[in-house]
Structure formats: C-alpha cells, structure tokens
Amino acid sequence: MPKEAEHTAFIAIGSNMESPADNCIEATNFLNDHPAISVSSQSSLYETEPFGKNDQDWFINSVVEVTTHLSPELLFKACLGIEKKMGRIRDEKWGPRIIDLDILFYDDCVFRESNLEVPHPGIAERSFVLEPMHEIAPDFVHPKLRKTIETLLAEIPNPQQVNRVSSDG
C-alpha cells in the first residue's frame, strides 16, 4: 500500500479565558499527540488585543506548523475535536473563548467549503496571526495574495497590539 502524501499546514491557536497561555500549550500538545498530526515548528506565545470585539480580555496567540496525512476536512475535524475536548462553546462571534484553533494554510491550497476556507480569510488584517506566523515562516507565500508573510505583516492596514510573552515553545 503506498504511503499517504504528507502535507504542511499552519494552525493559529488562541485563548483568552481561564489560563490562556496554558490553554495554548495544551492545545499544541493535543495536536502533537494526535496520531496523524506532528507539530514541526511553533511560535512564541503572544499577548494580543482582541479583534472584532474589544470589550473582553486580551488573548494569548501562537501559530504552529504541522505535518499531516489528513485532508483539510479531517484536519479541521481534528481541530474541532480538540476545541470540544478543551471545553470550547461557540456562542458569540469574536467573543471570549477557552481555545480557538484555525487552519491558516494547508500547503499552497486554495479552497472553500461550507464551514472551511483555506487560506483562512482575513489573515492580511490580523496582526495576532501574522506576527507569530512571521516568527516561524516569514517567507511563506500566501497562495491567494501571492505575498510573503513578511510583506503582509509590513503592509497590515490597522495593526493590533501584539507583544511576545514567551519564546520557550
């Protein structure tokens, strides 16, 4: 039986409830413990101001690079499963959350399904994604915008405040 193709994906991790830094670390560990996912690189943790809804606690965010044999849909299901295991309740867009896992990129694929769009929409406006992504993959080229992460970060129209809090990832 031929070996399944290996894919590279980037996943954003964020939390602003209970122990946000611990939640991000736990989510990274859950990803790495999954039998079909391997974390190959991870950014530092960053404290970031909320996006879309400002009247809430600041977030802790990071980005991990993973290798996987899973399809984008199955990787998405794995992420949702980790969120559920960690107690995520989806009741308010951009509201507080115990954990949030978003697939940013999957190889250089561009696709859209009912509940999954890759690359993740809005990356070019989100400092809390671009800053940690820049730390681990500054030369990665956004497959729709055809610009590197470094260029997107330099061109962000309204940057949010992002502060590195840990580099022991």
Using alpha carbons only, give the angle 137, 103, 96 rounded to the nearest 5 degrees.
110
3-state DSSP call for residue 151? helix
Let me know if 108 is a catalytic residue: no
- How far is the C-alpha of 23 from the C-alpha of 60, rounded, in Å? 9
Point out the catalytic residue in the list 55, 90, 100, 112.
100
∠ Cα 74 76 78 (to 5°): 70
Task: Specify whether 90 is catalytic.
Answer: no
Token look-up 């580099």 returns 167
Q: Establish whether 57 is a catalytic residue.
A: no
Work out the angle at residue 87's Cα, subtended by the Cα atoms of residues 84 and 89, and round it to the nearest 5 degrees: 80
| Annotated catalytic residue within 55, 102, 126, 139 | 102
Which residue among the candidates 33, 88, 126, 146 is catalytic per the annotation?
Answer: 88
Q: What is the CA radius of gyration of the chain?
A: 15
Choice among 91, 97, 126, 139 that is catalytic: 97
Q: What amino acid positions are annotated as catalytic residues?
A: 88, 97, 100, 102
